[in-house]
Every structure is written in C-alpha cells, then in structure tokens.
Amino acid sequence: MSLSRRALLGATGLASLPGLPEPWAIRPAAAQTERVLRYGISMADIPQTTGQPDRGAGAYQFTGHTLYDPLVAWEMDVADRPGRLVPGLATTWEADPADRRRWIFRLREGVRFHDGAAFDADAVIWNFEKVLNPQAPHFDNRQAAQVRPRLPSVAAWRKLDAMTVEVTTRTVDSIFPYQMLWFLISSPAQYERLGRSWERFAQEPSGTGPFRLARLVPRERAELVRNPDYWNPARRPKLDRLILVVAPEAVTRTNALLTGQLDLIETPAPDLVPRLRQAGMRITENVTPHVWNYHLSLLEGSPWRDLRLRRAANLAINRDEVVALMNGLAKPAVGVVDPASPWFGRPEFQVRTDIDAARKLLAEAGISRGSPLRTKFLIATGGSGQMLSMPMNEYIQSAWREVGIEVEFQAVELEVLYTCWRQGAAGEIARQGQVTANNVAYVTSDPLYALIRFFHSKQVAPTGVNWSHYSDPETDRLIDAALTTFDPAEVDRLMARVHERVVDQALLVFVVHDTNPHALGKAVRGYTQAQHWFQDLTTLA
C-alpha cells in the first residue's frame, strides 16, 4: 500500500515546527524609513550574481531579472493569460528575409549599467564572447555552463553599428527569439574596473536591471536595493530594499513567515497552508508551464529501452495522491504540457492510474514484486522548481515498489542534478553512479523548452539537454519542419505531433505540473503571479 501524505510528511520532518535558526531571523533595522521586504527562497544558496544565474529557471526572478536585462524580455506582470515576448534591451528583432538565419537586433538608446557605463553593441558582443567563446580572455565557464544549453541555435554574432547587432543561427530557426530570454547583459566596464575578476564581480555586479546588489552573504542572503535610474519607468521597484533569504527547508520557511521573520515565501509546506490562511496570510498560485517528471535513459543497457517498462512506470502512479500530498498545490500531468496547450495533440497512450495494466506490462517483461527491476535515479534534495522533492519521490518510490520496480534514489544538491542533466545519460555523473533516470523539473513555456531541446537527436549533450539520448527520424523531421516555418499556427500543429509521439512512446514518467505557490504576509501588496517561472519582483510593495 502507498504511504499516506501524513506519513510521508512526518517521515521527512514536515509535520513538526522547528524554531527558526540564525541567521534567518533578519529584521531590517531601517524598516521605519525604508520599504523593505524579506523573501524566503527555497534554494540552498543565492544564485550566481555575475550575469547568468545558476540553480535553474526559478533563479532568474532572484538574481537574473532583478540585476540584469535580456535583449528580448518576457511579459511578467499579467496573471490571466500567458505572457508574450516584449522588447527588452533590444527594441526590435527580425530575421533577414534574404537569409532567415540572420537575426537583426536594434538596441535601446540611453540605457546605462549600474556603474554608469553606456549600454551598446560592444557590450552585447562582449557578453556573447563571455559565455560562448572559450578563447575570449573574459570567458567565464561558470556562466557559460548555465546559458550555453539555452542558446543552442547561436552560431555567430557581430556588431553592425553602435546600436545594432547581428546574430546568425546554425539553421533557420523561427522560434529563436525565445532563446534570447535567457541571455542577460552584464557590464564590461565593471569587469575591467574590478581587475578582470569574476569573483570580485559577483560581490559588486553591474547590470542594467531595476535593482542593484547592496550586499551578498553566500548561503545566507542577498540584499537588493532600488535602482532609481532604471530605464523602464513601469518597472522601477516599489520597494527600497528586497532581502532574499536562503531558506531551503519548507517547514522552516513557512514558520518564519508565521512568526513575522519573513514577509513572502515560495513553496510553503503543504500541511501548514491551513494555518497560514488562519493567520491571515494569502496563498497565490497560477497555471504554470512547468512539469515535474523523470527523464529515462535510452542508452544501451538501460531497462527503460523497453516501452512496456516505460508505460508501466507511468500507469503505476496515482497522480491525484501526489496532488493530495501537496495539499492541492499541484495538478496531475498527463504529458509534458497541459491538455489545454496547443502543443498537446491527441496521444493514443493515456497517462493514468491503472495498477493492473502496469503489472501486466511488467509481467510480460519478466518483472514482478518477487523478481523486481532494480535501478537507481538521481533526484534533488530540494530547490526552486523541484517542489517537495523528497516527499514526492518517496511517495512514488512506494507506489512503484508495489508493482515490482525497486528504485534507489541518489539525492544530491540541485546544482549537481543540473550538472548531470547537462551531461546527459552518458555523462560522468550518470555513468559512474549507474543512474538510469534524472528527476529535473523545468519550464515548458515555448517549443524549445518544452520539446525540442529534449527530443531532437541533435540536442544530445553538450548541445542541448536530450538527457535520454533519444533519436527518432520522424520526430526530427517534425521539429525541423517547425523551425523552418514562420507561421505560428503551423508551428503549433507540428509541435502537437511531436508531443503525441513523446507521450505514445512514454519517453518520460509524467507526474504533476507545479502551480508555483507562494505565501504572502498580510502587509505584502502588489504581487502578480504570472503564468511562468519568470516573476517580476519590481511590483512588490
């Protein structure tokens, strides 16, 4: 029998309320004169501050879109529909009709970095070199590791004039602008001023964003202050100071909000949600293009090369029970994207709970409780976007055990999990650990992030994150056709065909979609829960 939600929460310490240890008991001394908000984040450390955050997509709201800007931005201040691409540091972008691989970006005039230096084409080229050219003197491998897989189409870049840049893609790629959401611009002048040291730059970063970094205490907190000269008046922060507090434990984070030591937290402990509401706190969540699942290795020797086993692993999970474990702060996943998505299509294989069908498929493959499949998965101990990683994994582990799948979990810090993800199933971490699945939750906001980077054969590491080493000529053909059409409706139709193949072949084990829950103290105003992992913290008051 599957473990109950209460049993799992208790087993992981979520049924108790430990006291809040120092140094999390942060009380702003200037609260009487400053508008200060303390935000408890679910990460084990403050994400990189040098220009390309680590720790996944969720980190962009903390040290990405606060300190920096992309050329192409995302609409982050709407809650009732998905956001759209909007101008950022580039006012326009277009593919050259004579050569669709050439994209022209016209840059915004009058923007300055926090250090006072002017933003221009030279800065953009310097930033491309920083993460995509290992021979560049200022190349930073730590930043490159984060953003290089997010820019798989970029082949070349050059300055056309002081405020115009050309980017050439490897092939025609109609959805290329979505990749530019992740490419953030840091200051070349500040890097020079600090002796060309990325370590010093991390303490004194300079971007063009709405906040500046006032103080960084690794594994404890980052204090961001308002940039009064920010180029976009609509995104000038309402706060004077935003304190990001490292609080990876869900119950401690929640307790800190209840005791007034934090003002806002992400991913509250599910069992404490009723108590939060009784205390007058507000719980916000929204439709989020984000999926929590398992990527299965398809390399020679992996048990998951057998379609029967992949389908059985999906059928053995009761997703409603996982949602109950989260106290309703999730939604069952029956594919990479939600059925409401234009890319869902009409898969023949129905992802559902059917224990008898799972046992039958496993029996056909010679597997039962008496003769189980034994394998190892890599999972995260926690982190933004990973929801309640340990309780959820343990719940699924118990469900699989009932049908004859014995999974040993190797729990690692989130950035180790991401490193394995980027290396692929043939990479050092998976190979040495004999790992056959990777449990990374991720954003599914556009065709690249939802499907292309996982299922095109040319997206195997180090190009993309086709972790499984999946290769299928028909899937490749559909993706290639989508990339060469500039008709959005045709892109949607082709992506729906790709998704049908992914679900029918049970390439992943689909579990739930995150609703990105946050808990707000009674005094917090202005927070807009966007339908994305990107969130705009400038609206907080």
Task: Give the mean model confidence (pLDDT) for residues 6-21.
Answer: 41
Residue 532, pLDDT score: 86
Task: Give the mean model confidence (pLDDT) for residues 298-303.
Answer: 97
**Does 6 score more than 80 pLDDT?**
no
Average pLDDT of the chain to the nearest whole number: 92
The pTM of this model reads 0.85
Which string of DSSP letters, residue by residue, matches 18-48? PPPPTTS----TTTTTS-EEEEEESSSSPPP
Tell me the sheet residues that pair with 85: 74
Output b/e per residue, 132-169; b: 16+ Cβ within 10 A.
beeeeebebeebbbbbbbbbbbbeebeeeeebbbebeb
pLDDT digits (tens, 9 = 90+) for 451-472: 999 999 999 988 889 999 999 9
On whether the CB atoms of residues 541 and 213 are closer than 8 A, the answer is: no
**Does 5 score more than 50 pLDDT?**
no
Q: Which two tokens stand for residue 269?
A: 């402990």
Residue 83, pLDDT score: 87
Domains for the chain: give ranges and CATH numbers.
Answer: 36-255 (3.40.190.10), 290-514 (3.10.105.10)
Residues listed for the chain: 541
User: CA of 358: how far to CAs of 297, 324, 388, 447, 467, in Å?
Assistant: 20, 22, 26, 31, 25
| Alpha-carbon gap, residue 264 to 258, rounded angstroms | 10
Residue 292, pLDDT score: 96
Helices marked H in 404-444 — which ranges? 414-423, 428-433
293: nearest Cα among 385, 355, 205: 385
Task: Give the mean model confidence (pLDDT) for residues 121-129.
Answer: 98
Residue where the block lists tokens 């929590």? 292
Of 483 and 83, the one with more pLDDT: 483
**Does 1 score more than 50 pLDDT?**
no
| Alpha-carbon gap, residue 296 to 315, rounded angstroms | 15
Residue 463, pLDDT score: 83
Which string of DSSP letters, residue by residue, matches 126-178? HHHHHHH-TTSTT--HHHHHHHGGG-TTEEEEEEEETTEEEEEESS--TTGGG
Task: Give the mean model confidence (pLDDT) for residues 51-61.
Answer: 92
Residue 533, pLDDT score: 83
Say what percent of the chain tops pLDDT 70.
94
**Does 130 score more than 80 pLDDT?**
yes
| Alpha-carbon gap, residue 274 to 272, rounded angstroms | 6
201: left (phi over 0), alpha (psi -120 to 50) or beta: alpha
On whether the CB atoms of residues 358 and 39 are closer than 8 A, the answer is: no
Output b/e per residue, 43-65; b: 16+ Cβ within 10 A.
bbbbbbbbbbbbbbbbbbbbbbb
Residue where the block lists tokens 């069992």? 271
| Alpha-carbon gap, residue 396 to 321, rounded angstroms | 10
Residue 2, pLDDT score: 45
On whether the CB atoms of residues 247 and 253 are closer than 8 A, the answer is: yes
pLDDT digits (tens, 9 = 90+) for 214-233: 999 999 999 999 999 999 99
Task: Give the mean model confidence (pLDDT) for residues 118-138.
Answer: 98
The pairs formed by 187-191 with CB atoms below 8 angstroms and a separation of 24 or more are: 187/113, 187/114, 187/115, 187/117, 187/123, 188/117, 188/122, 188/123, 188/126, 188/127, 188/138, 189/113, 189/115, 189/116, 189/117, 190/113, 190/114, 190/115, 190/117, 191/138
pLDDT digits (tens, 9 = 90+) for 154-207: 999 999 999 999 999 999 999 999 999 999 999 999 999 999 999 999 999 999
**Helix, coil or strand: residue 87:** strand
Task: Give the mean model confidence (pLDDT) for residues 57-70.
Answer: 95
> Rounded to the nearest 5°, which phi and psi values hold at 110?
80, 10
Lowest mean pLDDT among 28-37, 76-85, 118-127: 28-37
128: nearest Cα among 171, 82, 99, 166: 166
pLDDT digits (tens, 9 = 90+) for 361-399: 999 999 999 999 999 999 999 887 788 899 999 999 999
User: CA of 29: how far to CAs of 26, 153, 215, in Å?
Assistant: 9, 48, 15
Of 5 and 497, the one with more pLDDT: 497
Task: Give the mean model confidence (pLDDT) for residues 428-449.
Answer: 94
**Does 150 score more than 60 pLDDT?**
yes
Residue 97, pLDDT score: 96
Residue 382, pLDDT score: 85
Say what percent of the chain tops pLDDT 90.
84
Q: Which residues contact 511 (CB under 8 A, 6 or more apart)?
A: 291, 292, 293, 294, 317, 319, 322, 333, 392, 396
Residue 363, pLDDT score: 98
**Identity of the amino acid at 58:** G
Predicted confidence band at 14 (pLDDT cuts at 50, 70, 90)?
very low
On whether the CB atoms of residues 243 and 233 are closer than 8 A, the answer is: no
**Helix, coil or strand: residue 293:** strand
| Alpha-carbon gap, residue 313 to 505, rounded angstroms | 12
417: nearest Cα among 400, 449, 398, 441: 441
On whether the CB atoms of residues 207 and 69 are closer than 8 A, the answer is: yes
pLDDT digits (tens, 9 = 90+) for 107-118: 999 999 999 999
**Helix, coil or strand: residue 325:** helix
Q: Which residues contact 532 (CB under 8 A, 6 or more apart)?
A: 74, 76, 82, 83, 288, 289, 443, 445
**Does 19 score more than 80 pLDDT?**
no
Q: Which two tokens stand for residue 390?
A: 């340990």
453: left (phi over 0), alpha (psi -120 to 50) or beta: alpha
On whether the CB atoms of residues 378 and 420 are closer than 8 A, the answer is: yes
**Does 23 score more than 60 pLDDT?**
no
Predicted confidence band at 520 (pLDDT cuts at 50, 70, 90)?
very high
Lowest mean pLDDT among 2-11, 86-95, 501-510: 2-11
Lowest mean pLDDT among 34-48, 71-85, 86-100, 364-378: 71-85
105: left (phi over 0), alpha (psi -120 to 50) or beta: beta
